[in-house]
A and B are shown apart, each in its own frame.
Chain A
Amino acid sequence: MTLNDHNLRYRHVIPAGDFWIHEIQAGEHFRIVDLHGNQAVDTLFYNAKNYADRYSAQDTIREQRNIYLTTGTRLMSNFGTALLTITADTCGRHDTLGGACSNESNMVRYAIEKRHMHACRASFMKAIMNWPGLEKRDIPPNINFFMNVPVTPEGKLTFEDGISEPGKYVEMRAEIDVLCLISNCPQLNNPCNGYNPTPVEVLIWA
């Protein structure tokens, strides 16, 4: 299908460090644009009719036999539902092993004194505070769009500088009605945002 101004039904800039929660209907196309480059976008999807059926990192990578997400990847739920399919990707590789930062994981990874720093899982908590049907137990490991986390043959996990650039985008088609939850990552302790969190744009074509 052609994505143009005529069928664009929604666009919104998520400010640096902020969150976003929104429904996307089956058949709609959803695009996330890394406006300034190297911005991790921590993202979860749920079956809009049953939030227990939600994005699963393990099911997604196992079903495609590859740890990286890119064009052609079907984003799978923990109950085997194809939630969305990635239809375009000008970045080339996205992570789903690194999860979301939290106050607590920052204490472990960097220093106990980092507890106060703004983190994705606190953004997720804020986002679901007024969204009936979602609570903390509904936050499984997420996708990190535009983030680069390679695994070595020896089983090491490394956080590399991003491979995204200003204007790079990833686009997906919703296979069923889904709810999307995003934390535009505020992390300042590692290179996942180039040490400078920036806004991203989300667009939905009907």
Chain B
Amino acid sequence: MFEETIQPGASWSHVLKHGTALRITDLEGGANLGALFYNFECATERYNMPDTLKAQHIARLTKGFVLYSDMGRILCSITEDSAGWHDPLAGCSIAGRDSFVVELEKWGLWPRDLVANVNFFSRIDVAADGGMSYHEGNSRAGSSVELRAEMNVLTILNTCSHPLAQHEPKPVHLAVRKVAPPAEDDACRLSRPENGRGFVLTERYFA
């Protein structure tokens, strides 16, 4: 449907429509893409980090997992991923936060609508004692991840560096295309019984 490049340190927003997918590509390697997601029809429903982690018993994101809203519904599914690990824990830098707020304000949202974000292409290792460290080299040039929108999702993105990374921001490429609705044997639907129920609740929203 369309393609676009987000330059290093820049922000982007779009309502990703139900039935479309966003493919994101790390052009040079070492990119970080901060992301927030809201239900466009009722933005008090938004991405919920704890609900996403505890429903799937994960502290990382990759293919087969989904992003939950606080209302028990699935905003996006991760249908493809060649990076293997995306960070849901470490949040954003000051530049990243300011970038989120500027983009949120364009849609009538406010700093109080900031919530925990995802960092695509970045990885944080957690040690046995809870210590967090940035994992260098997680994403190579050409790594890509695809998000299938399961609702009409206000998507707020920026390419500011990961808050624990020591390097400069990098660009990412975006491509939006139409996709088929998730089938009965969809990998994200079947990856956990919780996700099966999450898809049922999401489909009921449109019923």
Residues of B near any A CB (own CB < 8 A): 44, 48-51, 53-55, 57-60, 68, 70-73, 85, 89-92, 94, 97, 110-117, 125-133, 163-164, 194, 197-198, 200-201
With both chains docked as a complex, state the minimum distance between the C-beta of B197 and any C-beta of chain A, in angstroms: 5
Q: Judging by beta carbons under 8 Å apart, are B85 and A155 in contact?
A: yes
Taking a contact as CB atoms under 8 Å apart, the answer to whether A56 and B91 are in contact is yes
A residues in contact (CB < 8 Å) with B: 51-52, 54, 56-59, 61-62, 65-68, 78-80, 93, 97-100, 102-105, 107-109, 111-112, 121, 135-138, 140-141, 149, 151-153, 155-159
What's the least CB distance linking B145 to chain A, in Å? 15
Whether B57 and A158, one on each chain, are in contact in the complex, defined by CB atoms closer than 8 angstroms, is yes
14 CB contacts below 8 A, A to B, read A59-B91, A79-B111, A97-B53, A97-B54, A105-B51, A109-B55, A111-B197, A112-B200, A137-B112, A141-B50, A155-B59, A155-B60, A156-B59, A157-B54
> Are A107 and B129 closer than 8 Å at their CB atoms?
no
With both beta carbons as reference points, the residue of chain B lying nearest to A100 in the complex is identified as B50
Q: A62-B164, A159-B54 are in contact. Are A112 and B130 (CB under 8 A)?
A: no
A58 x B49 contact (CB < 8 A)? yes
* Chain B residues within an 8 Å CB radius of A99: 48-51, 53-54
- Contact: B91 with A112, CB < 8 Å? no
Assess whether A62 is in contact with B90, with CB atoms less than 8 Å apart: yes
Q: How many A-B residue pairs have CB under 8 A?
A: 138
In the complex the two chains form, is B201's CB within 8 Å of A112's CB? Answer: yes
Q: Which residue of A lies closest to B55 (CB)?
A: A108
Q: How far is the CA of A25 from the CA of B115 in the complex (A)?
A: 26
Interface centre among A58, A66, A152, A156 (most CB of B within 10 A): A58
Q: Which of these, A62, A100, A107, A108, contacts B91 with CB under 8 Å?
A: A62
Set of chain A residues within 8 Å of B129, measured between Cβ atoms: 66, 68
Listed from nearest, the 6 A-B pairs whose CB atoms lie closest are: A99-B50, A58-B91, A104-B72, A155-B60, A68-B130, A52-B112
Give the Cβ gap from B80 to chain A, nearest Cβ, in Å.
18
In the complex, what distance in Å separates the CA atom of A93 from the CA atom of B116? 21
